[in-house]
Structure 1
Amino acid sequence: MLADARARLDRISARAAFQELIAADGLLVDIRPAAQRAADGEVDPALPVLVVERNVLEWRFDPRSDAALPQAGFGTRVIVLCQEGYTSSLAAESLQRLGIGRATDVVGGFAAWRAAGMPVA
């Protein structure tokens, strides 16, 4: 299942994700649960990052949903982040199935983000 999902994604590095955020070309979505964010840290909130836990991701990003976030849109560049890059691949592929064709994820997740020296809080 993971290999199938990843075959549909153009996965990006933490550094590439950061560059897209700085260029205002993408929206980083951290899908990790609150306990994991508390234990391991968070992406610097000064960046365009949204926290949307995995269990509500689809209905918050489906533009047709009554509960869609204002940032949700079929053309939105959504970059999904989990702890190590496994759950995020499945989540990004699910967003693509919803019609958000520019969805992808960060290779290595938050662990790679931190290891690459990207901003954390």
Structure 2
Amino acid sequence: MTATLPVTTSTATPADFPRDTQRPDATSVTSLVTSLFSSTGRGLESGERTISARAAFQDALYDRTILIDLRPAASRAAEGELPARLAPLLLGGNGGLGDVARLAEETSVTLISSDGLRAERVAALLQQCGLWANAVAGGMSAWKAAGLPLVQAEASL
């Protein structure tokens, strides 16, 4: 006879964790965005708020986070896209961070980029603004290495 162990799942949401109620002013946010895209921008400390590709997949699959693909359209077309069910918001280039920040105010977001470094920098920026975000460690390279689902990019009309 095989014994079954009870499965426990976390029901924690971003609302369960206290946030700093004081928001940074526009100047400090602009400075953070500028440093984000500078060549000296630094990612998260090792292991801080990064999660594995498999954990990101599971969290997105069970609606515990929203995956946001930060890769440019050309990279998505060449490498494949995340399934729309998992990643409803796609960002390319440097635009759209406001959309990510608004989304991160409401729910947990998990960012993914080609190698994970840009996603880590954006996650760090959002965290400095008091928002709930993390990054996929190793980015799309780790996603593909784990054999997780990708779909062929649709041709633009």
Which interval holds the TM-score relative to the shorter structure?
0.7 to 0.9
The CA deviation at 1:99 is 2.5
Q: Does 1:114 align with 2:152?
A: no
Task: Please state whether the residue corresponding to 1:96 is helix, strand or coil.
Answer: helix
Distance (whole Å) between structure 1 residues aligned to residue 136 and residue 147 of structure 2: 14
The CA deviation at 1:96 is 1.6
Unaligned runs of 5+ in 1: 64-71
Alignment correspondent of 2:75: 36
- How many aligned positions are there? 110
Output the TM-score relative to the length of structure 1.
0.80
Alignment correspondent of 2:118: 87
Q: Does 1:7 align with 2:45?
A: yes
Judge which range, 25-34 or 86-95, deviates more.
Answer: 86-95
Output the TM-score relative to the length of structure 2.
0.63
Higher relative contact order, chain-length normalized (CA < 8 Å, sep 6+): 1
Alignment correspondent of 1:68: none
Distance (whole Å) between structure 2 residues aligned to residue 116 and residue 108 of structure 1: 11
Percent identical across equivalent pairs?
Answer: 35
Task: Please state whether the residue corresponding to 1:80 is helix, strand or coil.
Answer: strand
The CA deviation at 1:48 is 4.0
Distance (whole Å) between structure 2 residues aligned to residue 96 and residue 104 of structure 1: 8
Whether the 8 Å CA contact 1:58–1:95 is kept in 2: the answer is no
Q: Does 1:21 align with 2:60?
A: yes
Task: Please state whether the residue corresponding to 2:44 is helix, strand or coil.
Answer: helix
Pick closer, same or farther for the CA change 1:32–1:107 going to 2, 3 Å.
same
Task: Please state whether the residue corresponding to 2:51 is helix, strand or coil.
Answer: coil
Distance (whole Å) between structure 2 residues aligned to residue 97 and residue 54 of structure 1: 21
Whether the 8 Å CA contact 1:20–1:26 is kept in 2: the answer is yes
Pick closer, same or farther for the CA change 1:89–1:27 going to 2, 3 Å.
same
Unaligned runs of 5+ in 2: 1-40, 152-157
Q: 2:97 corresponds to which letter in structure 1?
A: E
Superposition CA RMSD, Å: 1.8
Whether the 8 Å CA contact 1:11–1:107 is kept in 2: the answer is yes
Distance (whole Å) between structure 2 residues aligned to residue 78 and residue 26 of structure 1: 5
Distance (whole Å) between structure 1 residues aligned to residue 129 and residue 97 of structure 2: 8
Pick closer, same or farther for the CA change 1:89–1:114 going to 2, 3 Å.
same
